[in-house]
Structure 1
Amino acid sequence: MRTLSSSLLRGLAVVAMFAWGTTAFAQAFDFTPEQKGRLRTERNAAAIAAIPKDFRFVKEGTFTVAIAPFAPPISTYASDAKTVVGFDPDYAQLIADALGLKLELQPIAWADWPLGLSSGKYDAVISNVGVTEQRKEKFDFSTYRLGLHGFYVRADSKIASIKEPKDVAGLKVITASGTNQERILLEWNRKNVAAGLKPAELVYFDDDAARLLGVVSGRADANFNPNAPQAYHAAKDGKIKLVGTVNAGWPLKSDVAITTRKGSGLADALTLAANGLIQGGLYGKALARWALAEEALPRSETNPPGLPKF
């Protein structure tokens, strides 16, 4: 199913009825351009010393970062429709501070980052880019977030945990066609059938709003898609809850990373800066500010193993 059916539209009534008590659990998010709650940090001498002497920033004294504002809580536009806010902008600011640089964000279309970075338009990309072996052929990476897909269910669902294939047996699960999350569910179904269990029924909707409505209205038991947008909705209105996460690269891993030009030498300095933020606690606070504590890395790595070609 690819569009909203009449029965799903009738679920709007259920959504209205389900609004009980959700505001008590809601987390307030700051979408003002001033971002008074944005965290800042001191210079990291070790990270600064690791910047190659011959490295030239696009602008002297400035860390120029490309970012694609696509959805909260990762990155979106503030209430002034021009300032970029979210976790990725917050993280970019912390890294710039650690390197003793001013931050300049350049909003771009996500598909444009590889060419722009290769041609030297910006120093780095901080925009939800996952590490893959193919991308590592042209770019360097400094990881800063787990790449997670989340299982979210209605807040009053009796489903308490979805961690492995058997947990989805017989459930109706929303996902997106042609994605890693669909690939994972199809493999889980194969394992369940081989074990004599019922496969999950995969349900397809075109956008996040329809997926959210599908779960809240009872059209499906769970939504399995990227964690961050669902975590935002769960924290914002309390209508859904997290019952499990799976790495986007399952059975391997696929972390999210700052992306830089291959061989530029900047990646090691960025990794040092990231680990300073992790050790000092600001990293965790920045994640929590945008309801992304589940995606915390224990440490940043330079060019770790990435998602292979499937």
Structure 2
Amino acid sequence: MTIFTRAAGLAAAGIIAVLSGLGPAEAEDTGFDLSPEQAGRIHVDSNPEAITALPADYTFVTPGKLTVATAPGGPPLNTYATDARTVVGADPDYASAIAESLGLELELVPIAWADWPLGLTSGKYDAVISNVGVTEERKEKFDFSTYRQGLHGFFVKADSPITEISEPKDVAGLSVTVGAGTNQERILLEWNKLNEAAGLKPIDLQYHDDEAARLVALRSGRVDVIVQPHAQLVFIAARDKDIKRVGTLSAGWPERSDVAITTRKGSGLAHALTVATNGLIADGTYRKILDRWQLAEEALPKSETNPPGLPKF
């Protein structure tokens, strides 16, 4: 690792620690293992069917290794460990299991989120495993092998009388904090139309620019509900223990929207990755990985190659 890469990793880890409120001494309190050793990581045997599905003419970036890019954006999906250099989380665990299924060693490359499309198309890595959602626009340039549902979470204060949000009528008359221009806002505006057509009270949408402001609004009682990507709120709930989940929402509502391994269009790698994922689902390893990071709600019944994605809105 170069001095520059090391410094970049430390800087990124510092930013994530500030945003998440996480320090090394606090990691154990969350129920998540954020140590660099990852003693609890789940390992698997190679999957002959997945290996056979690899295209004969595919050349890996590094022979014998699956080079995977991931953007450390925060726990529990992918974040820097307490050593401020090792990337850990649900996505790295999943990447490790996929590499082992293919009989390969994992080479995990931390990147900035904005860099993944160019890095992938230019051949810097074999795949991206970093909470990338399937969209119709992205499918024009990339292939996808799904491995999780893309979910938003509805969370409330731990002592809130609200117990469940699963459909539009459940938020009628409630105040909900969202970010302007987000997918969550788009969906809730559609829910508002349905509620108004049914003669129900509208949703009181409250706009806040960032997660910290949304959480302050919720905890102070200025809003009833916060909605944003599910995994982020799972970690916050485990860390702070003052909010609770009352429901989830597909990022592609009214359709399901999935998160996928992303590979170069036409590389032929996607099919083998789908086979590998379905092997992990079948033998129970997949569920164990999600359970380890408290993301069981995001489980898929099966992996698919290039399924319908979010449309161009």
Q: TM-score, normalised by structure 1?
A: 0.90
> Gaps spanning 5+ residues in structure 2: where?
1-28
Asked if the contact 1:235–1:291 (Cα under 8 Å) also holds between the matched residues in 2, the reply is no
Partner of 2:180: 177
Percent sequence identity over aligned pairs: 68
Partner of 1:279: 282
| Deviant stretches of 4+, over 6 Å | none
The one-letter amino acid of 1:251's match is P
- Residue number among 84, 89, 109 corresponding to 1:86 in the alignment: 89
Whether 1:59 aligns to 2:62 is yes
Deviation for aligned residue 1:238:
2.2
Q: How many residues align?
A: 286
Q: RCO greater where, 1 or 2, for CA within 8 Å and sep 6 or more?
A: 1
Whether 1:290 aligns to 2:283 is no
Whether 1:131 aligns to 2:134 is yes
Partner of 1:105: 108
The one-letter amino acid of 1:56's match is T
Aligned-pair RMSD on alpha carbons? 1.3
Partner of 1:186: 189
Output one character per residue of 1:215-253: Cα deviation in whole Å (capped at 9) or x when no partner.
222121001111010011122332111111110011122
Partner of 2:261: 258
Deviation for aligned residue 1:75:
0.6
Question: Aligned with 1:97: secondary structure?
Answer: helix
Partner of 1:13: none
Output one character per residue of 1:178-199: Cα deviation in whole Å (capped at 9) or x when no partner.
0110000111111111222111
Whether 1:164 aligns to 2:173 is no
Output one character per residue of 1:53-102: Cα deviation in whole Å (capped at 9) or x when no partner.
10000000000001000111111111111110110001000000100101
How far apart are the structure 1 equivalents of 2:255 and 2:285? Answer: 28
The one-letter amino acid of 1:115's match is L
How far apart are the structure 1 equivalents of 2:238 and 2:283? Answer: 25
Partner of 1:18: none
Output one character per residue of 1:107-128: Cα deviation in whole Å (capped at 9) or x when no partner.
1111111111001000000001
Question: Aligned with 1:73: secondary structure?
Answer: coil
- Residue number among 70, 77, 89 corresponding to 2:80 in the alignment: 77
The one-letter amino acid of 1:31's match is L
Question: Aligned with 1:214: secondary structure?
Answer: helix
How far apart are the structure 1 equivalents of 2:241 and 2:127? Answer: 35
